Amino acid sequence: MSRSEHLRLHVPEPSGRPGHATDFSYLHLSPAGAVRRPPVNTAAAATADLARSLVRVLDDDDKAIGPWAPQLEADALRRGLRAMMKTRIFDARMLLAQRQKKISFYMQCLGEEAIAIAQAMALEPGDMCFPTYRQQGLLLSRDDIPLVELMCQLMSNEIDPIKGRQLPVMYSYKRAGFFSVSGNLATQFVQAVGWGMASAIKGDTKIASGWIGDGATAEADFHTALTFAHVYRAPVILNVVNNQWAISTFQAIAGGEGTTFAGRGVGCGIASLRVDGNDFLAVYAASRWAAERARKNLGPTLIEWVTYRAGAHSTSDDPSKYRPADDYSRFPLGDPIARLKQHLVAIGAWSDDEHERVEKALEAEIGAAMKEAERHGTLADGRVPSAASMFEDVYKDMPEHLRRQRQQLGV
């Protein structure tokens, strides 16, 4: 009999660190157009291959190919492109404002714009998203949420719609189908399932869309959400944005090594897809597929969006400390804006000139909005919501003890 081996603890490591480049072969990409598109009433177990492969539509020649290529008018594609550009320019301007100390903190979604924006375009009015802090694209894809108002939230100024109570980017917009961002991780994922269950209980037609990052899938709430979504066949899209990094923690530490996050869904009896998150057309097509399943009482769909967090986690983070500084330039799925732009150019629906014109117009629009927002104060100049308002909305009606405490503060 052989001698017993000494046991070893396995601690996953990314293939790249500062000083040596990442080997992205761990992503196991599929060629564009190669992955089948089953009917929406497919059985969850029959999606096992879709949870391992990668749905892609845009090929290396900027053509939309394969069964997932959506029938989208050029006009809709241009709207999507414009919304992604708007989001990127907005993020860049807010990073600048943070460096100018007009806002305390910011989180950009650089490189991930396609996911929130294409899904927003695939949903219907009345649907409700339960986002994390990196889905500002859900709001910026809309024309009915004023940029000034978003900026006032970011600066926690006198007309911040949530009265300075939350960190920047923790927006709340019921009227835009955007649930209040908690700041706690994963809690919203199971709430999205509950919201979808409520719609089903009421015999309504609205569906929910829950959002989570690769890192937070390790929280119990993720697994709980999958169980409840499956048990009650909740009308919900369960989005896992796998941007490879949770602050400095590589996705393998969240459990992505040698498996996929989409695979978790199949194990729970949920139809699941793994999709190129930097491919606007693939995101739109997969979101439509999932939304149609939900609307037809076919239950939840889990979608893992493979993407890359091109920027820092937040303005408090420096990713060059833990990953190669040029990592994003080697990421094999590219830049979602460049890819959709090239596709539009290839089909004769866009040009470099038009792109530049829109970019300039958006920069001007966002610059003007910032000027207007700053008129209502910034965190730096102290024109913030009143201290007295701090005691409101803890309860629907202010109890006696809070009245007394407000008096003690003398406001």
Partner 1 sequence: MSHASDALRKTPMTMIEALRSAMDVMLARDDNVIVYGQDVGYFGGVFRCTEGLQAKYGNSRVFDAPISEGGIVGTAVGMGAYGLRPVVELQFADYMYPAYDQIVSEAARLRYRSVGDFTAPLTIRMPCGGGIYGGQTHSQSPEALFTHVAGLRTVMPSNPYDAKGLLIASIENDDPVIFLEPKRLYNGPFDGHHDKPLVPWSKHPMGEVPEGYYTVPLESAAVYRAGAQVTVLAYGTMVFVSEAAALESSIDAEIIDLRSLWPLDLDTIVASVKKTGRCVVVHEATRTGGFGGELAALVQEHCFYHLETPIERVTGWDTPYPHAQEWAYFPGPARVAAALRRAMEA
> Residues 229, 231, 232, 235: what is their CA dihedral angle, to the nearest 10 degrees?
30
Tell me the window of 30-38, 99-107, 193-201, 311-319 that interacts with partner 1 (CB under 8 A).
193-201
Binding status of residue 376 toward partner 1 by CB under 8 A: no
| Residue among 368, 284, 314, 303 nearest 72 (CA) | 284
Binding status of residue 249 toward partner 1 by CB under 8 A: no
Closer to partner 1 by Cβ: residue 6 or 404: 404
Closer to partner 1 by Cβ: residue 71 or 408: 408
Q: Which of 194, 277, 319, 377 binds partner 1 (CB under 8 A)?
A: 194
Who's near 3: CB < 8 A, 6+ residues apart? none
Binding status of residue 197 toward partner 1 by CB under 8 A: yes
Tally of CA atoms within 13 A in the half-sphere of 384 that contains its CB:
18
Shortest distance (Å) from residue 395 CB to partner 1: 5
Residue with tokens 């096992």: 48
Binding status of residue 400 toward partner 1 by CB under 8 A: yes
- Torsion sign across C-alpha atoms 374, 378, 384, 390: positive
* Number of shown-chain residues binding partner 1 (CB under 8 A): 44
Q: What is the Cα–Cα distance from 165 to 64, expressed in whole angstroms?
A: 44
How far is CA 290 from its chain centroid?
16
Shortest distance (Å) from residue 399 CB to partner 1: 4
Shortest distance (Å) from residue 206 CB to partner 1: 9
Tell me the window of 43-51, 221-229, 299-307, 356-364 that interacts with partner 1 (CB under 8 A).
221-229
Closer to partner 1 by Cβ: residue 229 or 312: 229
How far is CA 115 from its chain centroid?
6
Q: Which of 119, 199, 251, 287 binds partner 1 (CB under 8 A)?
A: 199
Q: Which of 142, 163, 295, 383 binds partner 1 (CB under 8 A)?
A: 163
DSSP-derived 3-state class of residue 304: strand
Residue 84 in tokens? 């992604």
Shortest distance (Å) from residue 83 CB to partner 1: 23
Residue with tokens 């190129």: 276
Q: Which of residues 23-82 bind partner 1 (CB under 8 A)?
A: none
Binding status of residue 138 toward partner 1 by CB under 8 A: no
Closer to partner 1 by Cβ: residue 64 or 155: 155
Closer to partner 1 by Cβ: residue 48 or 198: 198
Q: Which helix (H) or strand (E) holds 356?
A: helix 352-374
Q: Which of 6, 125, 201, 353 binds partner 1 (CB under 8 A)?
A: 201
Positions that interact with partner 1 (CB under 8 A): 128, 130, 161-163, 165-166, 170, 172-174, 179-180, 182, 184, 187, 190-202, 208, 220-221, 224-225, 227-228, 231, 393-396, 399-401
